[in-house]
Structure 1
C-alpha cells in the first residue's frame, strides 16, 4: 500500500513536464490524482511537445494511483473554479494541491528569437502578462477555490512550484518577479492557514529533464539534473509527513527533500549529493 492511499490530489498544468512528473510521483504512492491541462487527446496541440492530460492520468493509474484528467485553461478563473469543484464533488475532500501551471514559456517554441533579448526593455510586454495571468494569478485562484475544503477538513498541503529565479538578478525581470511573487504568496497564505492545519510551501526543483529541456539538451549541463518524477516524489514525501507543518510558509528544495526523506530519482541517483552524474539512456 502506498503512503498516499485514500488521499486526493490536484496537480495543475500536468500534460507534460514537471506537472506530469508530480502527478506520477503522487500516483506511485496510491493517491487519486486529478490532472489539469489545456492539451487533450484528439484536440489541437498547444505546443509542439508531446503529452496530454489523458495520457498523464493513464500513467498515474498504471503506477498504482487513480488518474483523472480535467481539461482546463487556468487563464479562465471560472474553468479553474469548476475544476476544483469537480474534485470536491466527486471525492468529498482535497488533500494536496500542487500549483504547477505556468505561462510565458511560449517563446521557446513560437519562433521568437528570445536569445537576442538583452535587457528587460527588449522583452515583449505580454511575457509579463502571461506569467502573471497563467502563473501567479492561476496559483492564487486555484488556492482560493481549494482552501475552504482543506480548512473544513483541517488538513491539507498546498505546493507552489517555484524557482530559485526568485533570488537571482539575472533571471529576467518577468520571470524573477513572478517567481518571487509565488513565494511571497505562499508565506502569506501559510500565515492564514496555519491555525487550520493546512501546510503551504514553495518548492524549488533543480534542473529538470522536461521535454523542452531534453529537446535543447546540448545547451544544458544535465549531470546533476532531476527527472520530473523526482519532483513528484518530493511532493509525495511532504504529503505523507505528519510533521510537514514545521515547513509551512517556507521554500523547500527537491534535492534537499530527497536527502531528508531518503528517496531517489527514477535512475536510483541522489541529485544534489555530488554523486554519479546523470547518464542519458542509450538510444
Structure 2
C-alpha cells in the first residue's frame, strides 16, 4: 500500500472515537505520525456512554502503518493545548504538517437520555449548548490553530483542517449548531487569507452522515439515511489525500466535501463504496 505521508506529522484533536478517530486512522494508513488527543484514557470513563480511548486510537494508527501517539488533552484548557504543541515541537524537531480540528462539545443530549432532536426550537434548548459548542468546539479550533501555525510557518508549508458540517449552510439543524459550524467555516477562510503568504493551507471539511459509535447507537433513528453513510475512516482518507496533494494551496479557504474529494482523488470508503456528496443527497430529497 502506498504511504504518501511517511515522515509527515499530524495532530488530530478529539480522536478517542468518532470522526476524529477515523481521521487519525486515515492518516495512519498513509504512513503519518499522528498525535491523538482527547480526554478518555480508560474505557467506561468517557463523558458520554460510548466506547473508545486515545490509546486505542493510537494503537490502531500504528497497526495501519503509521505511528500513533496518544496525549491526554482537554482542549477547553488553553495550557493543555499549548503543552501538546510544545511536545510536538520538541519531539518532532519543530515539524507539524497537518492539524485537524475535530474536538467538539454540546452533543451530550444525544446520549444522556434527556433529548434526541426533540426540542421545539432554540428557545427550548439550554444556553449551555451554545457555550459548549463554542468553547469546546470553535474556540478550541482557534486556539489549536493559533498555537500550531508558527510551526508550519517556520517550515513554509502545512495544512489546517476544520471538521465542519453542512449545518453551517442550513436553517433546520439547530441555531447553536448551525452558527458554530458556520463560524468554523468562516474561521478557515480567514485563516487561509492570513496564512497564504506563508505557504500554509486552511480548509473546512464536511463529512456526510458518518457511522460513528453515536450514530450507530441510534441507527433506527437514521433508518434509510444510512444507505448513503460513510465510515469515519473515509473522512480520514479525505484529509490524507489533501495533505498529500502538492497543489493543496489552490483549495485553501474553501469548504470541501469528503465524498467530492473521493471522486477527485480516487479513493473509496473502507468497503469500496463511493458515497454521494452530502449536497447531492440533500438536493435529491433525502438526507445524507
TM-score range, shorter chain: over 0.9
2:44 & 2:84 partners in 1: Cα distance? 19
Is 1:88 the counterpart of 2:89? The answer is yes
Say which SS state the counterpart of residue 223 (structure 1) adopts: helix
* Coordinate RMSD, CA, aligned: 1.2
TM-score where L is the length of structure 2: 0.93
Q: Which residue of 1 is the match for residue 286 of structure 2?
A: none
- State the 1:113 CA deviation: 2.3
Q: From 172, 175, 182, give the equivalent of 2:174.
A: 172
- State the 1:112 CA deviation: 1.8
Is 1:125 the counterpart of 2:137? The answer is no
Say which SS state the counterpart of residue 41 (structure 1) adopts: coil
1:173 & 1:107 partners in 2: Cα distance? 15
Q: Which residue of 1 is the match for residue 284 of structure 2?
A: none
Give matches, 1:102-121, under 5 Å.
Answer: 102-121=104-123
Q: Which residue of 2 is the match for residue 280 of structure 1?
A: none
Q: Which residue of 1 is the match for residue 212 of structure 2?
A: 210
- State the 1:115 CA deviation: 3.7
Give matches, 1:1-283, under 5 Å.
Answer: 1-41=2-42, 44-92=45-93, 93-220=95-222, 221-272=225-276
- State the 1:108 CA deviation: 1.1
2:66 & 2:187 partners in 1: Cα distance? 30
Say which SS state the counterpart of residue 226 (structure 2) adopts: coil
- State the 1:247 CA deviation: 0.5
Say which SS state the counterpart of residue 65 (structure 2) adopts: coil
Q: How far does the alpha carbon of each residue in 1:62-108 deviate from its partner, in whole angstroms, 9 at most, with x for none? A: 00000000000011111111111111211020000000000000111
2:60 & 2:41 partners in 1: Cα distance? 15
1:249 & 1:228 partners in 2: Cα distance? 23
Aligned positions, number: 274
1:43 & 1:168 partners in 2: Cα distance? 35
Moved over 3 A (4+): none
2:44 & 2:88 partners in 1: Cα distance? 23
- State the 1:42 CA deviation: 6.2
- State the 1:219 CA deviation: 1.2
2:46 & 2:190 partners in 1: Cα distance? 36
Gaps of 5+ in 2: 281-288
1:115 & 1:254 partners in 2: Cα distance? 25
- State the 1:110 CA deviation: 2.1
Gaps of 5+ in 1: 275-283
